A = this chain, B = another copy of it.
Amino acid sequence: MTITLYELRGADDRRFSPYCWRTRMALAHKGLDAVYEPCSFGEKGKFAFSGHDRMPVLTDGAKTIPESWDIACYLDDAYPDRPSLFGGPIGRAEARFFNEWIPALQGPILRMVVKDIHDHIEPADRSYFRQSREQRLGKTLEAMHEARESNRPAFEAACAPLRAVLATQPFFCGDRPAYADYIVFGGFQFARSISPLRLLEPGDALYGWRSRMLDLHGGLGRSVTAYPE
């Protein structure tokens, strides 16, 4: 059966959705080949059959699964003989907390790079993007860009518990990465895909962890258009 991933793309084929990165990494973790169907905001019609208007959407043969969390659970259940994303029911339940906590990290990142997203998507999508994001975030893209360093304290506050964990173990899932790592990775890879803003510096435990994540699965995270690590 063919697995297809409908995945958000920007201009220059940039893959910047943190949620799609979770699924990309999850598929690689399970050792599953997939056909990638990159879709710009204007190409959502490609997966209209799913009844869902956000990516990722995954199809596996006749099955259609939207939502990154549901896709991860589906893959772990449908392919139990392959490396687990969760390591059992407790691991899955605890990963859900990462899934719900991650806005504390991704929210400040989004505010810092939202103007860069605008500048790296297809010109035809920019008017829709500007209008929807300015309405959601309550400021112009330019005002958010101007004030972006004001989000640094919230970003650093979210990094603190992550760094504390990495002081005791190399990955959030222990000696080896699993789905909770992919959830956190999505946020950083999102930024790196569309913004020159440096979020992490060498010497930081999170920088080292991100490097290890970028090395995974044949360097999947480095295989796309992005700004330097």
A interface vs B, CB < 8 Å? 84, 86-98, 100-101, 103-104, 161-162, 164-165, 168-169, 171-175, 178, 180
A88 to B178, CA, bound (A): 13
Partner of A94 from B89, B95, B100, B103 at Cβ < 8 Å: B95
A95 to B97, CA, bound (A): 10
**Secondary structure dominating the interface of A:** helix
A89 to B172, CA, bound (A): 11
Partner of A91 from B91, B161, B165 at Cβ < 8 Å: B91
A87 to B86, CA, bound (A): 10
A18 to B32, CA, bound (A): 43
A181 to B94, CA, bound (A): 10
Copies in the complex: 2
Residue pair B161, A97 in contact (C-beta under 8 Å): yes
Q: How far is the CB of A144 from chain B (nearest CB, A)?
A: 21
A199 to B31, CA, bound (A): 46
Q: Which residues of chain B are within 8 angstroms of A178 by Cβ–Cβ distance?
A: 90
The 6 closest A-B pairs by CB, nearest first: A87-B90, A93-B174, A100-B164, A94-B94, A90-B91, A101-B161
Q: How far is the CB of A159 from chain B (nearest CB, A)?
A: 11
A103 to B161, CA, bound (A): 9
Partner of A88 from B87, B93, B100 at Cβ < 8 Å: B87
Residue pair B174, A90 in contact (C-beta under 8 Å): yes
Q: How far is the CB of A29 from chain B (nearest CB, A)?
A: 12
A161 to B102, CA, bound (A): 9
Q: Which residues of chain B are within 8 angstroms of A180 by Cβ–Cβ distance?
A: 90, 93-94, 97
A178 to B84, CA, bound (A): 20
Partner of A169 from B87, B93, B165 at Cβ < 8 Å: B93
Q: Which residues of chain B are within 8 angstroms of A88 by Cβ–Cβ distance?
A: 87-88, 90-91
Q: Which residues of chain B are within 8 angstroms of A161 by Cβ–Cβ distance?
A: 97, 100-101, 103-104
Q: Which residues of chain B are within 8 angstroms of A98 by Cβ–Cβ distance?
A: 94, 97
Please name the residue on chain B nearest to A180 by beta carbon. B94
